């Protein structure tokens, strides 16, 4: 596997759940993960891909 692929299938699936639900909090609830774990996985994925596709806000349950 090429060195720039530092993410795994679970992280990609989690990203899809976040995108579908529009909320890190709701994705954490849906996947039975803590909010901090979801946030870290998404941040790691963003770092490894070099892009930031999720627009973050401080509003709970806001759209992404």
User: What pLDDT digit, counting tens, does each position of 8-54 carry?
Assistant: 888 889 999 999 999 999 999 999 999 999 999 999 888 888 877 67
Q: Is a pLDDT exceeding 50 seen at residue 1?
A: no
Tokens 């806001």, residue?
62
Instruction: Note whether residue 23 is domain-resident.
Output: yes
Domain count, the chain: 1
Tell whether pTM > 0.75: no
Residue 32, exposed/middle/buried by CB under 10 A (0-12, 13-18, 19+)? Answer: exposed
Residue 62 pLDDT greater than 80, yes or no = no
Domain, as residue range, for 29: 9-49
Whether residue 3 lies inside any domain: the answer is: no
Q: Where are the alpha helices (DSSP H) in the chain?
A: 9-21, 24-31, 35-49
In-domain check, residue 2: no
CA–CA gap between residue 12 and residue 61 (Å, rounded): 21
């Amino acid at each position: 596997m090429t060195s720039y692929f530092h993410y795994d299938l679970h992280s990609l699936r989690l990203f899809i759940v976040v995108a579908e639900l529009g909320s890190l909090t709701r994705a954490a609830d849906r996947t039975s993960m803590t909010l901090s774990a979801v946030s870290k996985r998404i941040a790691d994925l963003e770092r490894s891909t070099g892009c930031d596709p999720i627009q973050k806000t401080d509003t709970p349950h806001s759209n992404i």
